[in-house]
Amino acid sequence: MDPLSTSDADPCCNPLASADLFKQFLNERRYLKNVTGDTIEWYDTAWKAFQRTLNKTAPPITKTSLQGFVVAMRQRGVKPISVNTYIKALNAFCRWLHEEGHHRERLQLPLLKLEKRVLQTLTDEQIRTLVGRKPKGFEATRLHTLISFALDTGVRIEEALSARVSNVDYDNLLVTVLGNQCWQTKRLVSRRRGSRRWSCRLLTLS
């Protein structure tokens, strides 16, 4: 079955309905699903791009309009990885439309193929240089401790900046951090000389 085969007779094909339905979608995601503000902004950014591209305040949600949006974005030189972020957001809206009974069939745009790249990582020598540096002054010490903490635990920068002394379990060498979806996760701190000292120092300097 073609995932974009929804008939033009579906309610959301009425252009007057799509904008109101999108507002309802955002409200349910915000208040019922408790998604983050960043996720809401992601949905809203994709929708506004869809509106601008079709030059309509309430564009129809059809196979033709969705595919036309992708084609127009690519013709303007938008990179495939950026287009895919819009596609994922619009697919979430289309899935909601189907689940809520606004579309009989689920519309779903396929993601564009992307070039696979190997992420560049730090070498052992570079890590030793960073960790072994002896900073001078408050700001340099804070930055060095933050880098060491991130390298040792693998936390994201937002998780490291939100860490607190009360979230550190020194007996079990664990630190509890708040993820980007408001979920708590535990990260292991290595058992090595000085790790406890700089971990505590990071949290007291933050």
> Above 50 in pLDDT, residue 128?
yes
Assigned fold of 124-205: hpI Integrase; Chain A (1.10.443)
Rounded to 5°, the CA angle 15-19-24 comes to 135
Mean pLDDT score of the chain: 82
- Band of the pLDDT at 3, cuts 50, 70, 90? very low
Query: Which H or E element spans position 77?
Result: none
Mapping DSSP to helix (H, G, I), strand (E, B) and coil, where does residue 76 land?
coil
**The pLDDT of residue 15:** 45
Spell out the domain ranges in the chain. Answer: 11-99, 124-205
More confident residue, 149 or 190: 149
The amino acid sitting at 158 is: E
8 A C-beta contact, residue 57 and residue 16: no
pLDDT tens track for 11-23: 454 544 899 999 9
Q: Between 124-132 and 138-153, two packed helices, what is the crossing angle to 10 degrees?
A: 140
Question: Which ranges constitute the DSSP H helices of 61-122?
Answer: 63-75, 80-99
> Above 80 in pLDDT, residue 187?
no
pLDDT tens track for 56-102: 998 999 999 999 999 999 999 999 999 999 999 999 999 999 999 99
8 A C-beta contact, residue 105 and residue 6: yes
Q: Nearest to residue 21, comparing CAs of 74, 100, 79, 89?
A: 100
